[in-house]
A and B are shown apart, each in its own frame.
Chain A
Amino acid sequence: MSPWLHKQRNLLDFTLSSLSRRRGKTLGMMAVYTSIVFVLASVMLFSHAIRREAATVLAKSPEVLVQRMVAGRHDLIPARYLDAIKGVRGVQSAEGRLWGYLFDPAAAANYTLMVPTNPRIEPGKVVIGDGVVRARSADPGDLMSFRAHDGALVQFKVDKTISRDSALVSADLFLVAEEDFRRLFGIAPGLFTDLAISVRNPREVTKIAEKIDAALPDTRIILRDEILRTYESVFDWREGMLLVLLAGSILAFAIFSWEKASGLSAEERREIGILKAVGWETGDVIRLKMLEGMVVSLSAFLIGYLLAYLHVFHFGAGLFEPVLKGWAVLYPKYRLAPFVDELQVATLFFFTVFPYTIATVVPIWRAAIVDPDTVMR
């Protein structure tokens, strides 16, 4: 073994002995440090993964949606608006969508009712998402009844259930036939919830949206780009909110670690004095103390990050569930695709490991350049 490596091993031995002499303090510090890295890494990994998943999955959502607004509220849109939209050059297709919400008193949950055009659902039948299956313990062949707008009972037979794998987009879906939807809510033929439009040239989307806006001034137009931006901003906001809530504890930890790393106890001062007196050089003393800092911070980073990775991608981010769930009864069981941003991990590494290690250097250097005799007194 080269003398340099031999020296580093000896230094590491000495560092570990020095840390184990203050076992309680070191372990306490490690535990707090690891939890801070764990929480920060969990928020970071979760937000990034769900943002990327939303962007990937919703990339095929309707290109343009047109809602009718009446007195500032979303209102049903007449079919004649379709003719006006189809008259705009560049519009490839336009169709009315029927969707809404249904409160189920039996499960105390809100379902999202939709009328799919592909595949069409037979009247009297329903296709339900995984959340509805769990909330109602429903299986194919079971009957479900709801009160229509006029108080009459409307009965549905569960035809199929949607796989749990796609629960993130389908957990609360309740897919019914157009006749049943109109019967349930008393919506006359010729009225839709909103209109979905596809355009021939994606680069003309904003121009076409402008034309629709001019032709139909009482409408609100939502572009696919805006849907994707909504999710970017929802999770930017959420990440920001969590970080603001965490800011107090992060600041407390920063003060604690700065105090711990930069303030030398009398015992540590004496230790430095003895090392100098027995012939250690200032550089060696600084290296020793930096190694102490690195042992604590790098170990905390590695353990905290690994726990966060397991928490988010292998245990379904269980700690965040109550925050995301709120008062919702239906919550999808999903496992996020592990989208990891290496740059974010590097940033987390830089901001958690380096400050602590560097904070140890200045006071050690100050103590190490003083005469050993003075330090030991």
Chain B
Amino acid sequence: MRKSDGFLIVWAALLGLFGASFVDAVMGLRQAQPGLAEKADMVERLGLTDLVLFTEARYTRHPSQADLHSAFQDHPFALDHFPTGSLLPPPMLKRHPG
């Protein structure tokens, strides 16, 4: 077998897997729909507002509900010492509705 044959087979396999990843994503999304609906239903029923991603501090557990500048609220110049603080965006200015 020529080198190019072996290589083309590998490339064809990789391209096939690349295509298959999109098919897998479509099928995965279809399978995930009941789970997503269940989570959305739980959010509606319990009135939840945030994902459980950062449970280390109260202002990182519910970023959408936290006080403005909550990382610095304990006393002036109190710097945030939780690692998540560096991954959360800086506080947004209070938006008046409208």
Contacts and interface: CB of A to CB of B under 8 A. Distances in A.
Q: Do these two chains really belong together in a complex?
A: yes
B56 A166 contact: no
Contact of A65 (B38, B39, B65): B65
Contacts of B68: 72
Contacts of A238: 87
A302 B15 CA distance: 7
B65 A67 contact: yes
Given A306-B17, A340-B22, A129 B63 contact: no
A234 B63 contact: yes
A166 B89 CA distance: 26
Given A220-B94, A231-B51, A327-B82, A303 B32 contact: no
A110 B61 CA distance: 9
Interface in B3-59: 3-4, 7-8, 11, 14-15, 17-18, 21-22, 24-25, 28-29, 32, 35-36, 38-58
Interface in A189-210: 194, 196, 205-207, 209-210
A170 B82 CA distance: 22
A342 B22 contact: yes
Contacts, number: 210
Interface residues of A, number: 90
A73 B82 CA distance: 20
Interface residues of B, number: 62
A10 B3 CA distance: 10
B55 A331 contact: yes
Given A50-B51, A169-B51, 14 more contacts: A10-B4, A12-B7, A13-B3, A16-B3, A16-B4, A59-B40, A73-B67, A110-B56, A213-B96, A302-B14, A302-B18, A326-B84, A338-B29, A338-B32
Interface of B: 2-4, 7-8, 11, 14-15, 17-18, 21-22, 24-25, 28-29, 32, 35-36, 38-58, 60-65, 67-68, 73, 82-84, 86-89, 92, 94-98
18 contacts: A10-B4, A57-B39, A101-B58, A131-B52, A162-B42, A166-B42, A173-B46, A210-B98, A226-B95, A237-B89, A241-B87, A299-B14, A302-B18, A309-B24, A324-B54, A326-B56, A326-B87, A340-B21
